[in-house]
Amino acid sequence: MTGTLTIAGLGPGDEALVTPEVSAALAMATDIVGYAPYVTRVQPRDGLTLHPSDNRVELQRAGEALRLAAEGKHVVVVSSGDPGVFAMASAVFEALESVPQWHDLPIRVLPGVTAMLAAAASAGAPLGHDFCAINLSDNLKPWPLIEQRLRLAAEADFAIAMYNPRSASRPEGFARTLEILKEAGCGERIVIFARAVSTPEQRIETVELRAAKPEMADMRTLVIVCNSATRRVGRWVYAPRQVR
Ligand code: SAH
């Protein structure tokens, strides 16, 4: 029996934002592997084994998924949002690198609606011009690199989507982020705090950067620092298409 490995994104939270392609893969699966809060988003059923795991064990989890697929299972590795955006797809390929006999396994990556896009849509169109995305967690990269990228993104006047802005174990990083952006002259830029987008707890706040407080973000928040041309229209925020 030939197993398969599918790496799927479940979107930001709302069932309606799970793509039909991902739903079909979940319906065919024998095993679901992922971080526990994402695995619980998959409906249990006969013939389906759930393998929830802790945070920060991505490589181990990826290895387990590959092993199950090599044994003939139809494995779906689930991430929130899109699996390629600060999520499990990279971890699976990293695990695959070290085991050449698995290189021919049928592997598919199914895209999902990433938090940045759902957040942008809830506020209007802040990503309508050039933008970048940065993960503010320094688990897997040195903090000075994050600072350098923030300064360069500010200088380039990109809108900046920020994932993992603030956790209990790293409360100071986001405060420092706001300071760096103020120093870089971004005080008047609009900042969107989009929390728990597409869930019943959704909350969207927009403020000028100089009025932004570190406590406005937590680990369920996606922060967008808009470009300098971005403006308000009614309750919406949008980036003009043209910048001169
Ligand atoms: N693969 C995911 C991102 C994982 S990193 C994706 O594509 O969306 C986890 C971070 O994503 C969180 O700290 C938060 O910044 C953001 N995030 C995920 N779901 C969110 C949601 N529903 N609302 C706001 N931010 C969200």
Residue 1: what pLDDT?
Answer: 62
Distance separating alpha carbons of residues 224 and 168, to the nearest angstrom: 20
Q: Helices (H), strands (E): how many in the chain?
A: 7, 13
Distance 13 CA to ligand 1 centre (A): 9
164 lines ligand 1 (CB under 6 A): yes
Share of the chain above pLDDT 90, in %: 95
pTM of the complete model beyond 0.85:
yes
163 lines ligand 1 (CB under 6 A): yes
How does pLDDT run across 192-233, given as a tens digit for each residue?
999 999 999 999 999 999 999 999 999 999 999 999 999 999
137 lines ligand 1 (CB under 6 A): no
Distance separating alpha carbons of residues 236 and 239, to the nearest angstrom: 10
Residue 68 pLDDT > 70, yes or no?
yes
Which of 221, 223, 224 is the best mutation target for the ligand 1 pocket, counting ligand atoms within 8 Å of the beta carbon and taking the most? 221
Query: Which residue would you say has higher pLDDT here, 171 or 232?
Result: 232
Q: Name the band, by pLDDT with cuts 50, 70 and 90, for residue 56.
A: confident
58 lines ligand 1 (CB under 6 A): no
198 lines ligand 1 (CB under 6 A): yes
111 lines ligand 1 (CB under 6 A): no
Length of the chain in terms of residues written: 244
Residue 82 pLDDT > 70, yes or no?
yes
238, containing H or E segment: strand 236-238
Label residues 178-215 b or e (16+ Cβ within 10 Å = b).
bebbeebebeebbbbbbbbbbeeebebebeebeebebe
What's the rounded mean pLDDT across residues 139-144? 94
What's the rounded mean pLDDT across residues 33-50? 97
What's the rounded mean pLDDT across residues 164-173? 86
Q: Name the band, by pLDDT with cuts 50, 70 and 90, for residue 128.
A: very high
